[in-house]
Every structure is written in structure tokens, then in C-alpha cells.
Structure 1
């Protein structure tokens, strides 16, 4: 089967959720994801009109049903709440109708931007967007956050600062600090944020939407900030991690009061990346960042962990 093709049962399911006279006339695979197959579907109607939807399919993912239920719930919650996200069209979380668990949603305009150029402008926008997400107060809370990484699952990179990593691992052996819960995206980073980028020479870059809400949770704001910080540190250089946390506070966000509490969440997220460096690097390379080899990402992760231990430890 072509990577662009939609499987027969899934295609039939999509058709059931289209308007009368519409059909799928084009399929494009979307790059950059790690856990799900993403496809942009062009939907044609009578008179030559077209619109676009996005199909998200989980293949061989153990928690697919939970993830798609979370995402569907988040997309319903976000309607009219001031945070632009895709609109939910249909969900088959258990794979009862499709070959695999799937979610169909509207397509948002804009594109991800992972280049170093223009980062100074984008970081404050990312910070303000995350503050807006954390300000949401849903009538029904999503499930509590889950942290899968443990002190025993961390993979210390070859040649890393052994003392810094040992100290960082000791940090997450402690009980999690108490926190005031917030609505979390749980996978907020530049790869899940769409930008409307004007032509060269024109100002006005803005965020046009936030995607991938499969991890929507209830937990500490620090955890979302830590995740975006780590992504920025690995994508653009270790110093960008702490700078994002600063930008979040400048935008009105509130983080844990104590340095040891902040360190716990920042280190927990950074260490979690040690288990998936190869997958993360490959996803970024597919988007055009060929220089972000597994080794390059490991070196940046090592440097970032050292920065955290030096500044907050």
C-alpha cells in the first residue's frame, strides 16, 4: 500500500462523515510526527469546490484509544474558548470501524516553523499561547497527567557529563512537588504549533493554531513549560530552554515558586527525551533539519541537562 493511500475501511468511514455529494479526491502524507500517521485529505464537492480535512491514525500504539479520546475531548472543549485548534469531525478511538484507531478533524491554515531564523520573534508568541492554554478552566477536567519516565528507564548518552546526569536522575527519584493544577496540552512545542508567516520583508508573524491534543491532561504548568523548553533546547541550542521559561513568566504565566520545584519538572522532561532521541532526531530530519542527527541531539541534551543542574540544582 502506498504511504499516501487511506486504508479501505478507514476511507469508507471518512465517507460516512462527509457532506452529501462530497468525496475524497486527494491524499497527502504529512511529515514530522512520531506516534501517528497523519494525512491531509482533499475533499471535493459538486461544482469543483474543495476543502481539506486531516486524518490521524494510530498504528501499533498501545494507548491509542485513550489518546484519541483525550484528543476528541480536548477539541470539543476548545470550541469558542479563544485557543485555535482543529474542529472535531469524527473519532473512532477503539478502531471499531477503521483498520486502526483514527480521528478526523478540520485542517488549519499555517505551517510549522522549525528553523533558527526568526526564533527571537516566535518564542514570545509560543509563551503567550501556552499561557492562554493554561488559563482555560474546563467544566470537566481531563485526566491527570502521567509521567512514564523513571530513574531506571533513563538512557545516559555516550560521553555525557556523568556527574550531572547522576545528580539529575537523583532529582526525579524524589516525590513530585505539590502543584496547582492547570489544563495542559502535554506536548506543546514548535512542531505542534502552526504559524502564519508573511512573505519576506513583511512583518506580522502570528500563531494560526495548535494541533496534537492527544496528551491533554490536568497537571502543573511547569510540565508544559519544561516540555517546550527541552524541545527548543534540542532544536535551536541548549540556551533556548531557560529562555522559554523566562518568556512564559514575562507573558504572565506562573511557575513553581522554588528553584528545586522548577528543577524537578524541567529535569524530568529533559531526561525523558533520553529514551527517544533517535525517534525525535529522525522526525526533525524529515522536516528538513538534516543536521539534527541522533548524536547532535544527544550532545545538545547533555549540554541542556548540565545547564539545568548548574542554574537550578
Structure 2
């Protein structure tokens, strides 16, 4: 986490824009960036700052220039650069908030599947190429993930890279946008699909993971035949540190998704995947 406070982040954004900003609130739900909402003469903007030396701003600017086809679902860049050596980006603020604690996971699944299908139609021009091949962990899950890798479709699309409910913005039960694009890349579609399915499992709704997949397939106009393989790969990737996601879930108001709950739900999911 960058070492500066929320007002300092707003000051950095104001210096980039060349005009004052008024601090509104800190936006939680992630651990990589400091993210704050600010008022720009009556317009809401988002200021995000990253640790010194981090190239997330450069990567996010590159992908946001590609997202015109998403229209209102993606933010626009207002200013970016380094201020006092701190990578900073100012974007438009999408209307809405993280998903409410009581929002039906089936609603989340349906709308996120439709949104992801739109994202995957965009060509990943100029984005870094990433296979997301399984890492070399020990254990049965990792071994099964490496075997599953051989069965995957590795056709590249524009992937978000961290497609979970905390990076979606909602107005009640309506998805209004997708944020945090710094990890976007050219990668197989299964990367995003499996990551979102795993998130729905951690929310306590494994049935919603299947609803998400069906929604994606309908809106993408194609079947995803290798989803089990990608589920194994995603689980293998998350296994060493999945409990550390507790602050992310608590940060978006999911008070019941604590570290022990995360691990319990994850382990049940892994047992299901391993059969």
C-alpha cells in the first residue's frame, strides 16, 4: 500500500489536473493501490496512486484507450503521470458502489457474465501477453492444474485479469461498470471466467458460478468447453494465499467473508474440482 494518506492522494491528483480537488472518501476493496473519490467542481473523479516504481498506471492507461466499445462500463482517463515520484492516475468515476451485502449472487453472476462477454470481444492490441500457465507448486491440486493446462483453449482475448465482484460497480441490482484495469492483458478467456467463478464460490454461491458461465456463453455466443481445466488452474493459483483476500471482501462490505470462511469455502470447491 502506498505510504501516503487519502488527502495526499487527492493533492497528487489535483496537481496532475492543474486544479483543486475536494476529498470525498477512500474507496476500499483492493490492496494494491490507494484509491480515493474526489469532487472536481461538481464532477466525481477517482484518484489512484501506486507504490513508487510500479508500472500499473502505464498499463492501465494502455488498456483504457482500448475500451471505447464498452461505453459506460469503463472509466475514462483524465490525467496520469508521476507526482513526486508517485505513479498517479485520475479517471472519471462510474456511478454506483460495490455490490450490496444482500445482493443476490445470481444477479451478480448473470450481469457479470454479460459484461465479460463484451470485454472479451475487444482485441488486446498492444497489451502484454500472458498465458497464466500453472505455477510449480507441490501437491495434488497443482499437479492436476498442470495436467489440465494441456486441455485449455489458449486463444488470446482482452482479459481484465482480476475479474471479481469487487471490481464491478453497482447501482442497486444493476451493474454500471467495471474498474481496476491495471492488470488487463492478452490472455485466454478462461483466465477471467475461472477467476470470477471462484469469487462467486467464495461469496458462498457455487450455483451462481454456473449461472455466470451460462450467462457468459449466451452473450458470447459460444460454449466454454474447458472451464473445469481453468477452474483447476485458478484454484491452484489462489491456494497459497486465498485467506489474505479477507480485507478485499470486508472492504466491499462482505462482512461474513472472513479468512476462515474463505478457506473453508475454497477447500470445499477444490474437493469438488478434484472429484
TM-score of the superposition, structure 1-length normalised? 0.77
Q: Write the mapping of 1:286-297 to structure 2, written as runs, cut at 5 A.
A: 286-297=251-262
Q: Which runs of 5+ in 2 are unaligned?
A: none
Asked if 1:196 is matched to 2:171, the reply is yes
Distance in structure 2 (CA, Å) of the matches to 1:286 and 1:12: 23
Which of 43, 50, 63 does residue 58 from structure 1 map onto?
50
Kindly state the Cα deviation for residue 211 of structure 1 after the two structures are TM-superposed.
0.4
Alpha-carbon distance between aligned partners in 2 of 1:82 and 1:226, rounded to the nearest angstrom = 25
Change (3 A) 1:114 1:266: farther
Contact 2:45–2:92 (Cα < 8 Å) also in 1: yes
Residues of 2 paired with 1:287 and 1:195: CA distance? 11
The residue that corresponds to 1:79 in the other structure is 68
Q: Any conservation in 2 of the 1:87–1:105 contact (CA below 8 Å)?
A: yes
**1:96-120 deviation line (CA, Å, top 9, x unaligned):** x334222111111111105243222
SS in 1 for 2:86: coil
3-state SS of 2:222 partner: coil
Task: Say which SS state the counterpart of residue 77 (structure 1) adopts.
Answer: coil
1:5 aligns with 7
Q: Deviations over 1:210-241 (max 9, x none)?
A: 10101111111111100100111101333433
* Whole-angstrom CA distance in 2 between matches of 1:116 and 1:236: 12
Deviation track 1:65-111 (CA, whole Å, cap 9, x = no partner) reads 1x32221111111135446211101222xx4x334222111111111
Aligned residues: 271
Alignment of 1:291-310 (within 5 A): 291-310=256-275
Distance change (3 Å), C-alpha of 1:276 and 1:220: same
Which of 174, 191, 195 aligns to 1:227? It is: 195
Q: Is the 8 Å Cα contact of residues 83 and 132 (structure 1) preserved in structure 2?
A: no
Equivalent in 85, 98, 105 of residue 91 of structure 2: 105
- Unaligned runs of at least 5 residues, structure 1: 45-49, 155-164, 198-204
Structure number with bigger Rg: 1
Deviation per CA, 1:253-307, whole angstroms, max 9, x where unpaired?
53543xxx43331111122222332331122123332222211100100111122
Offset of 1:185 from its aligned partner? 1.0
1:36 to 16, 33, 47: 33
Q: Give the Cα–Cα distance (whole angstroms) in 2 for the partners of residues 241 and 304 of structure 1.
A: 11
2:214 aligned with 1:277: no
